[in-house]
Each structure stands twice: as C-alpha cells, then as structure tokens.
C-alpha cells in the first residue's frame, strides 16, 4: 500500500483543480494529481501513489547515492586490508 | 526504467553487502516497518544474502493487514446495502471479515468496485448522483494525502452522495508500541521511505532518543534497502542512535508541507485498533468534525459492529515480528492467498503472502518466485 512508483511528468494540465498531469511509468501513461508538487515541471520525475504525486525525485541525490555505493565497493577492492577496515570502524572513513 | 534499474544493480548490491559484512561484528536485529519493504526483501531474498549476524524482523506496516476485523465487517455491511457503490483498493477484496469478504459480497450482487485512486471514487459519485458512493479509506501517512484530497474535493463540489469509511493508521505510535512490548528484540529501524516523503523526518528523533535505536529512512529498491541496513548496522556498531536519511532522492527533511496541511485540515488523530495487535493510542486518523458528514460510519450507522479474530491465525505475532509466517501451522496448508485466514496472507505486502509467493517450497531457502497467476492474486494496489 505504501508502494509508490517513480514516473516522468509528460504534460501538465493547468486548467484542472486539483492540478493534474500525465505521467509516464516506463511506457504506461496515467493521469495523476500534481497538487502536492505544484511547482513540478515537464520532464521531471515524481513518486506516485494511488494517483497522487507525493514528492519530486531529486536527480542529484539519486546520483550521489549511486556514486557513494560505487565508492564503497572501490574502497573495499583497492584498500580492503585490515588497516583500512580498522580505520573505518574507528569512524574516520 | 529510470530510478528503478539503477537501484537494482546486482554489482552495486554486492558491494553494499560486502560493506555490511565488513561492518557487522555482532548480531543485530533490525525491523523494516513497511510492508512494501517486506515484499521487496523477501522477493529479492535480501534477508538471505545478509551476513547471519544481521536479522530482519518484519514490521506491521501493511495497512491492509492491520485494518481491524470490525472495520472489514462494517465495509461488508455497507457494501451489501442496495443503492451503494462501494469502492476499494483491489487488495482489500479478499481480506476476510468474520464470515465473508468483499469479493463474496460482490458475487452476491453488491456493487463493489476496485479503484486505483480515491479520485476515481469521487468521479463515480459525480456520475451517479442517485447512488451512495463509499470509498474504503485505508492506509498509512502515504495514502492519507490522496484520501484527504478526495473528501476535500467532495465538499468543494457539494457532493452529498460521497463518503469515506476511514481506517487510517500512523507509523510513529506503532513504533512506540513495538518498542514498549516486553518481548521486543528490535535494535534499529528502517523507517518507511514514502511515509517520510509525506510527513518528513520530524517525528523520529524523539523515538530514536527515547528507545536508543537508530532510525534510517529507507527506500524500496534492493540497493535502497541494503543502504538502509548498512547505515543502521554502522550506527549500531558505533553505539549511535540517530535519524538518518538513506532515501534522499524522495525524502526531504520537511516532507511535503502541502500534503501535510491537507491531511491536517481533513483528519484528526484518534486511537485505533490494529488487527491482530490490538488498540494503540493515537495511532490513527479520523475525519474532523468539519468533515463528519462524509464519514460512512455515521451515515450508515454501523458503528455498533464488534468482532473476534479466529484463534488459528497468528497474524498478530507475525505483525509484531515475534514469529516468521512459516512458524504458523496454517501457513500454506489451510491458509493460502486464495483461502486466507488472516489479512497478512492477502496483500502482497503482508508478510505471510510474501513468504507464500517466494518461499513456500522450502521454508527458509531462496526460491525463484511464485507463478504469474499467484502474483496476480496478491497484486499490490499502488
Ligand atoms: S499463515 Fe495465515 S493463518 Fe497463519 S498467521 Fe499468516 S495469515 Fe494468519
């Protein structure tokens, strides 16, 4: 029930109250209420639950998370020795 | 698909798992609060990929599962009345009431309709002025902005034939109830990401401090869940108990203020009964006095219905993380998604249904996943 899926805003219909727009979910398009993300722009991504966009998806944060995951792995691979591990556990990494 | 594929990357998942393995030196028990996360964890076998020190305990965060039996019976009663169009999310249809479910009521001639959004129910009310349209408004904080908007619009449009049967629940009081239970083993929480997309993170620092548990706001894709676990374990190993946001692409500190304002206009906090668990103070929302006219319980005068749960079903223990579904004697035998004894076997976010779909053959061992037909039977609503 808390399932909410990301979709791309394809168009926004200013004439409706509440504000609605067409959202693309990887090929499937559906109308959703945009009233809670009223400053959203076409081309941006929103997270949609039961026909309502609840929040805009922040591209920068998404990329930062992915970069962090990659660096975690690289740290492991490149410096994955006991000393590195110890320094991490000490909270310096 | 953007924002899904990247957060399913198996290579990055392995890196996160390695990192968790390197961090965990002692046994830790974490609870994922949300049923959507439970579904994702079991589906991807995340619990079985984790180092054995890290145990995931499944929480009560499936609104379909915790909607009390008496509310289901009220829904059945209202849906059976002539002149009513009863609208619900699809996964409420097979939730067992005392002696039948909504599916059965539909078979017996009741006008029960599955809607994708509460606004669809509102449309039905506009199109059928001679009928009473009732929407079954269940859900956590994630769903509340949608349901609040529906009733707000009904009033704005002057629709007098629309009402809500409200059974809304709130996460923070449930966390408090779990932490104060004597058998509680939970040492850290993965807080439900989409609840926080709406409500923000302000409700959690107090809980983290009071119960000295890390609370990591966590998303739903495999990498999101692993990152939530990684951060929670790291805090535990360091003896910390803070609120952290591991889902920043969808959760802002302040949540969604416009959505919260709408919730607060339409709903007020109330005590609620949780199916299988019992009453939890201040754990739900009901319509405020200003919107009482849209309350189906009053309109149809069903507030007197009282019920008792079947003894065989151990969903209460499942929902509190005290047992795994496979420990229930009825699991997969007398209780299946087709013939559910408890609500946790109905919704795909219910732990019993998730285990049935992905773990049935060999309890405890990874499995490829249930048949397409079974998946459909417990398809999620969102
Ligand atoms: S398997 Fe069925 S009977 Fe057992 S706890 Fe789950 S829902 Fe209840």
Domains delineated in chain B: 27-64+183-245 (3.40.50.11750), 66-170+255-299 (3.40.50.11740), 315-363+374-378 (no CATH)
Contact status, residue B315 vs residue B344, Cβ threshold 8 Å: yes
Determine the pLDDT at residue B312. Answer: 85
First to last CA, chain A: 37
Query: Which of A5, A37, A72 minimises the CB distance to B382?
Result: A5
Rounded Cα gap, residues B154 and B76, in angstroms: 23
Determine the pLDDT at residue A86. Answer: 52
DSSP code, position B113: E
| Cβ of B352 below 6 Å from ligand 1 | yes
Strands B215-218 and B54-61: unpaired
Contact status, residue B41 vs residue B222, Cβ threshold 8 Å: no
What Rg do the C-alpha atoms of chain B give, in angstroms?
20
Which DSSP string do the residues of A21-48 spell out, in sequence order?
EEEEETTEEEEEE-GGGTT--TT-EEEE
Angle between helices A59-79 and B222-238 in degrees, nearest 10: 60
* ipTM of model: 0.87
Taking contacts as CB-CB distances below 8 angstroms, the residues of chain A near B89 are: 1, 50
Taking contacts as CB-CB distances below 8 angstroms, the residues of chain B near A73 are: 11-12, 14-16, 18-19
Closest CA to B348 of B169, B107, B89: B89
Per-residue pLDDT of chain B (382 residues; tens, 9 = 90+): 788 899 999 999 999 999 999 999 999 999 999 989 999 999 999 999 999 999 999 998 888 889 989 899 999 999 999 999 999 998 899 898 988 999 999 999 999 999 999 999 999 999 999 999 999 999 999 999 999 999 999 999 999 999 999 999 999 999 999 999 888 999 999 999 999 999 999 999 999 999 999 999 999 999 999 999 999 999 999 999 999 999 999 999 999 999 999 999 999 999 999 988 889 999 999 999 999 999 999 999 887 777 777 778 899 889 888 899 999 999 999 999 988 998 899 887 899 999 999 987 544 444 444 444 444 444 343 3
Determine the pLDDT at residue B378. Answer: 44
Determine the pLDDT at residue A2. Answer: 55
Test site for ligand 1: of B101, B314, B348, most ligand atoms within 8 A of the Cβ? B314
Rounded Cα gap, residues B73 and B62, in angstroms: 19
Angle at A54 between CA B56 and CA B173, to 5 degrees: 45
């Amino acid at each position: 029930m808390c399932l909410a899926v990301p979709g791309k805003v394809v168009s926004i219909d200013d004439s409706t109250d509440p504000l609605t727009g067409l959202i693309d979910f990887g090929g499937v398009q559906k109308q959703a209420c945009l009233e809670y993300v009223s400053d959203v722009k076409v081309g941006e991504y929103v997270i949609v639950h039961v026909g309502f966009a609840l929040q805009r998806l922040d591209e920068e944060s998404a990329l930062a998370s992915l970069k962090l995951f990659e660096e975690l792995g690289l740290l492991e691979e490149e410096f994955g020795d006991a000393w590195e591990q110890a320094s991490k556990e000490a909270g310096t990494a | 698909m953007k924002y899904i594929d990247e957060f399913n990357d198996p290579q990055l998942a392995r890196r996160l798992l390695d990192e968790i393995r390197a961090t965990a030196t002692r046994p830790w028990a974490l609870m994922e609060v949300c049923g959507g996360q439970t579904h994702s964890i079991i589906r991807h076998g995340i619990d079985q990929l984790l180092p054995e020190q890290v145990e995931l305990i499944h929480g009560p965060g499936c609104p379909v599962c915790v909607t009390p039996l008496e509310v289901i019976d009220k829904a059945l009663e209202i849906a059976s009345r002539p002149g009513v169009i009863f609208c619900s999310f699809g996964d409420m249809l097979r939730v067992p009431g005392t002696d039948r479910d909504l599916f059965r009521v539909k078979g017996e001639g009741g006008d029960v309709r599955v809607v994708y959004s509460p606004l669809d129910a509102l449309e039905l009310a506009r199109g059928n002025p001679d009928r009473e349209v009732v929407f079954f408004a269940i859900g956590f904080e994630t769903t509340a902005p949608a349901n609040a908007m529906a009733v707000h619009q009904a009033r704005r449009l002057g629709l007098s034939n629309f009402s809500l049967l409200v059974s809304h629940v709130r996460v923070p009081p449930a966390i408090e109830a779990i932490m104060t239970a004597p058998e509680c083993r939970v040492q850290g929480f993965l807080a439900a990401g989409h609840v926080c997309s709406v409500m923000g993170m302000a409700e959690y620092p107090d809980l983290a401090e009071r119960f000295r548990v890390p609370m990591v706001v966590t998303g739903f894709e495999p990498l999101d869940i692993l990152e939530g676990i990684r951060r929670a374990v790291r805090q535990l190993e360091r003896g910390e108990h803070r609120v952290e946001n591991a889902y920043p692409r969808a959760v802002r500190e302040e949540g969604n203020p416009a959505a919260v304002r709408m919730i607060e206009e339409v709903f007020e906090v109330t005590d609620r009964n949780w199916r299988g668990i019992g009453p939890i103070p201040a754990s739900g929302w009901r319509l405020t006095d200003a919107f009482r006219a849209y309350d189906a319980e009053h309109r149809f005068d069903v507030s007197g219905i009282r019920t008792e749960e079947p003894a065989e079903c151990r969903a209460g223990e499942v929902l509190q993380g005290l047992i795994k579904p496979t420990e229930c004697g009825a699991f997969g035998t007398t209780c299946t998604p087709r013939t559910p004894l408890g609500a946790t076997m109905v919704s795909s976010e219910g732990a019993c249904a998730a285990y049935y779909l992905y773990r049935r053959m060999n309890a405890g061992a990874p499995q490829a996943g249930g048949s397409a037909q079974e998946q459909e039977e417990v398809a999620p609503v969102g």
